[in-house]
Amino acid sequence: MASVVRSSKFRHVFGTAAKRNDSFENLRVSASAWDSNFVAANPKYLAVNWDAGGGGAFCVVPQAQVGKLRADFPLFSAHQGAVLDTAFSPFDDDVIASGAEDHQAMVWRIPGDLEEREENVTEPLAVLKGHGRKVGHVAWNPVAAGVLAVSSSDNTVRLWDVEAGRVGQTLQGFDDAVLSIAWSGDGTQLAATCRDKQLRIFDARSGRVERAAPSHTGIKGSRVAWLGDTRLATTGFARGSGRELRLWDASTLTPISTQNVDSSAGMLMPFFDLGTSILYVAGKGDGNIRYYEFADDKLYYLSEFQSPDPQRGMCAMPKRGVDVARCEVMRFFKVVSGSLVEPISFRVPRKAESFQADIYPPAHAGQAAMSADEFFAGKCAQPVLADMEQVFRDGPLVVGAGSSGAAAAPVVVSAPSPAAAPEPKKAPTPEPRKAPTPEPKKAPAPEPVPAPEVKPEPKSEPKSEPKSESSADAAELASLRQETARLRAELDQQRAAAADAVARERTAQQQLEQATQQLADNTQVSAKLQAAASDAESLRAQLDVASAQADEFRTQLAQAATRATEHEQATATLQQDLQAAISAANALALAAEKAADSLQ
C-alpha cells in the first residue's frame, strides 16, 4: 500500500552556516561549566559571556562588525563573579540584563559610541541585589515593560520591576537549584525546570505554583520552552542517560508524547519559532540541530542540520531580525569554540521577489503592551504584533530609544484575543490519485515482411503455353521464399538481442540497488562516526572539567599537607618546651629537697 507523504510548507527548510568572514572571531567565550547559552542576540547586537579571568564581564558586538574583533574592544564589567547569562530587552535593543556568580543581576544601557570607545562600561542602569547564591538565568517578560525574571541557586525566582528597583514577586517551592525558566506568550505564567526533577508552572502575579509534575528522570539537567499558550516542550535525560524530548499539555501538565533522541551526553537546547511552529533542538557537544514541525499535538520530524564542529552554546535571533527577502525563517548564533561564534541561517527554498505572507505571519513588534505596575496589578494583555511585510521592505526592525531615525515604527496589527485559542482546523487530506502504470517498453521489433501471396493459377482451357513462362514463375517463387526465410532469421536475431538488452538492464538495476544500499550503509556509518566523535568531544570536555577539579583538589591537598607539617613542627616545639619545663621543675624539686635537708 502506497504511503501518503504529509503536506507541509516547511518540509524542505535547510540550514546554512556562514562563512568564516561572516562569523565573529577573536572572542574569549566564558569557560564556565554552568548550563547557559553563552550568547544572546537581537537585530542590532550580539552579546557573549566573556572569559575575564578575575571578576566577571561580557562583551556586546554590533551585528555588522563580523570578522576578527579588536583585542581592546570594551567590555561590560561590574560583576565580581563570572557572568553566567545575558538577555536583551525585547522592547529596547540597547538594553541588556546580566546575571553572575556574585549573587547579583544587573541591567545595562549600551552606549552609542561603543565601537569607538576605549574604556570598559562599568556603570549599569540598575543593580538587582538580594539573591542568596549565584544568579543563573535572566529572562524578560514578553508583554510588560521592565519586568525581569531572575533565577538563583538559592532555589528562588524573583520577578523584578527594573525601573522601580524592587521585587514584585518571589517564586518559591523549589527543592533544589533552578535549571531553566521560560515565560508564556502572554507573560502571565512562568515555567521552570529544577534539579529536583520537577516541572513547575507558576502564576507570575500571585507567585503560586499552579501545576507541578515529575519531569525527566536522568540525573543531568533539563530545559523548557513554550509552544504557544497551552503546550510545553522539555528536553532532558532518561534514567539510562539517553536524551529525551517531551511534549506537555500545559493546562494539566500531563505528558502528551516522549521521543528518545539519542544517547549523547550533552544538554539539548530547545528553541521554538511561533510563526512557523517549528521546534529546533540543538545538542551541546555535537554539531546537530534537529527541527520538528508542531501540528495536531504532534512533533513531526522535518530534517537535521549537521556540522563537524560541536556547539558549546547557541541563541536565536528575534523574528523581526531575520532576512525576509531571502525567505529566512530562523537564524542561530552558534558558539563553535572559545573564540568563534558562527551564524546559521535556516531558509525556505523559494525563489520569489514578492513578500511570502503564508510563511511570515505577524510577529512580536518589540513594543510593550503594558507597564510593570499594570502587570503586577493583575492586568492581562496579548503581545503587540507587527506585520512582517515591513521587515521585507525595510529590513530588520530595530526598536528602542537608541534606534536610528531611519528605522520606521513597526506596523502594528491586531493581536489575538486573550481567550483560549481554538484548535487548528485540519485541512482536508486530498485522496491520493494513482498515476497510471506505464506498460514496460520493449525494444522495437522490425515489422515482419509478409510472404508474397501465391495465387493458384486459374484453371484454363488446355492450350499450348510456352514452357519458358512457367519456369520463370517457379524461379521467382523460390526467390521470394528465400527472402522470407532471411527476414525471419533477422527477426529472431533482433528478438534475441532485445531479450539480452532487457537482461542487461535488470542486472544494471540490481547493481544500482546494491550501490544505493551500500551508500545508505556508509551514511549510517558516517552518522555513527559523527555521533561517536561528538560523544568523544563531550567526554573530553568532561575530562577537562574533572582534570581542573583534580588540580584544585591537589592544590588543596598540598595546602593541607603544608598545614599538617607546620602543625607537626609546632607540636615538636611544644614538646621540647614541655620537656624543658619538666626538667626545670625537677631541678627545683631537688633544690627544694636539699634546702629542706639543710634546714633539718
Instruction: Give me the DSSP letters along 548-560.
Output: HHHHHHHHHHHHH
- Most distant CA pair in the chain: distance in Å? 202
The one-letter amino acid code at 154 reads D
Phi-psi region of 463 (alpha: psi -120 to 50; beta: other; left: phi over 0): beta
pTM of the predicted model as reported, rounded to 2 decimal places? 0.69
**Which amino acid type is present at position 502?**
V
What pLDDT is recorded for position 328?
97
What's the pLDDT score for residue 526?
72
What does residue 120 show for φ and ψ, rounded to 5 degrees?
-70, 160
**Nearest CA-CA partner of 541 in 264, 177, 193:** 264
Alpha carbon of residue 127 to chain centroid = 31
Q: Mean pLDDT by 10-residue block, N- to C-terminus, for the chain (600 residues)? A: 68 95 95 92 97 89 95 94 96 97 96 92 95 95 97 96 95 95 97 96 96 93 95 94 94 96 93 97 94 96 94 96 96 94 96 91 96 96 95 93 52 48 41 42 41 40 45 74 81 82 80 78 75 77 80 82 85 88 88 83
Q: In 3D, which of 91, 219, 99 has the Cα closest to residue 143? A: 91
Distances (CA, A) of 540 to 133, 194, 309, 533, 547: 29, 26, 14, 10, 10
User: What are residue 325's phi and psi, to 5 degrees?
Assistant: -65, -25
Q: What is the spatial distance between Cα 171 and Cα 190, in angstroms, rounded to a whole number?
A: 9
Residue 501 confidence (pLDDT): 81
Q: What is the DSSP string of 400-427?
A: STTS-TTSPPP-EEPPPPSSPPPPPPPP
Q: Is 373 helix (H, G, I), strand (E, B) or coil?
A: helix
The H or E element containing residue 143 is: none
